[in-house]
Amino acid sequence: MANSNHPSRRAILTGAAGVAGGMALAPLAFGADAPERKSSGKINQSISKWCYDRKLSYEELCRHAVRIGYKAIDLIGPKDWPMLKKYNLVASMCPGSGSIPQGWNRKENHARQIEEMKKNIDLAAEAGMPNVICFSGNRDGQPDEEGIKNCIEGLKQVVGYAEKKGVTICMEYLNSKVDHKDYAFDRIAYGVAIAKGVGSERFGILYDIYHAQIMEGDIIRTIRENHQYIKHYHTGGNPGRHEIDETQEIYYPAIMKAIVETGFKGYVGQEFVPAGDPVKALENAFRICDV
């Protein structure tokens, strides 16, 4: 998830009910741009588009993604899907409902979010996209028990629709210490309680490792103990949300091995803002996570 210096991440997740037509485009023959190496296949890697909006054009990002071995682009809406089809990529996380401060923890948001979520589930299902995103919302003085209860109540009204359409709803874990002050789902226990209460394979957690490191750390143990509720992952270097290399404190090879050991078959989205060369950062991140 973006911090306040990168507003485009939030903007992508609003106004999602765009035109999803014109999707059946044939993939290109890449020639010299063909993939330079094959992935081990153990981790399905994707790239969060917003992190590169200021450094690469969208088509450049797609071309490099295919060359390197990425399978998907994260956090994009229907207007960006035709380009994905052109390059035979997938939108691994799509708009769902609400916003970071205004989520499912408030009953007054439920009717609007149910309608919005159903529309976006329809779009994702029609285009063959696997996941849609949602948020708890901010606390604003609300006890966690009440927020969890409200999230369960609201999501139960839409998760059956997701089940019928074959789309998974993912609620994102964000830190409330640095980037998203007052956000409610800032501890794994909050999201696990919601996932248990909703009780569907079509609802789970978007576990952002960068945010989790800031709030709780203990990443590998958390993954091992709660993997059945995690449907999607995000990366990012801490501190700074930059490259996931030796310049930061998280050791991603061990984390990726732990994810593989759980049998996870979803996507791991690279969601870091490169401080240096963006293409080299993408190449290096792919190698780091290709365990």
pLDDT digits over 254-280, tens only?
999 999 999 999 999 999 999 999 999
Q: Which residues pair with 208 in a beta bridge?
A: 234
Please, which pLDDT band fits residue 54 given cuts at 50, 70 and 90?
very high
Whether residue 32 has pLDDT greater than 80: no
Q: ∠ CA(164), CA(165), CA(170), 5° rounding? A: 105
Residue 30 in domain: no
Whether residue 9 has pLDDT greater than 90: no
Residue 29 in domain: no
pLDDT recorded at residue 7:
45
Give the DSSP letter of residue 271: -
Residue 187 in domain: yes
Whether residue 63 has pLDDT greater than 50: yes
Residue 145 in domain: yes
* Average pLDDT, integer, range 183-210: 98
133-184 confidence digits (pLDDT tens): 999 999 999 999 999 999 999 999 999 999 999 999 999 999 999 999 999 9
pLDDT recorded at residue 160:
98
Residue 182: Cβ within 10 Å count: 14
- Please give the C-alpha separations between residue 202 and each of 38, 44, 235, 246, in angstroms, as whole numbers: 30, 19, 22, 36
CATH number of the CATH domain containing 236? 3.20.20.150
Residue 136 in domain: yes
What's the alpha-carbon Rg for the chain, to the nearest Å?
18
Please, which pLDDT band fits residue 245 given cuts at 50, 70 and 90?
very high
Q: How many domains does the chain have?
A: 1
- Residues of the chain by 3-state class (helix, strand, coil), percent to 5: 45, 15, 45
Please, which pLDDT band fits residue 41 given cuts at 50, 70 and 90?
confident
* Average pLDDT, integer, range 67-71: 97
Residue 20 in domain: no
Residue 251 in domain: yes
For residue 278, the enclosing domain spans: 8-14+37-289
pLDDT recorded at residue 40:
81
Residue 229 in domain: yes
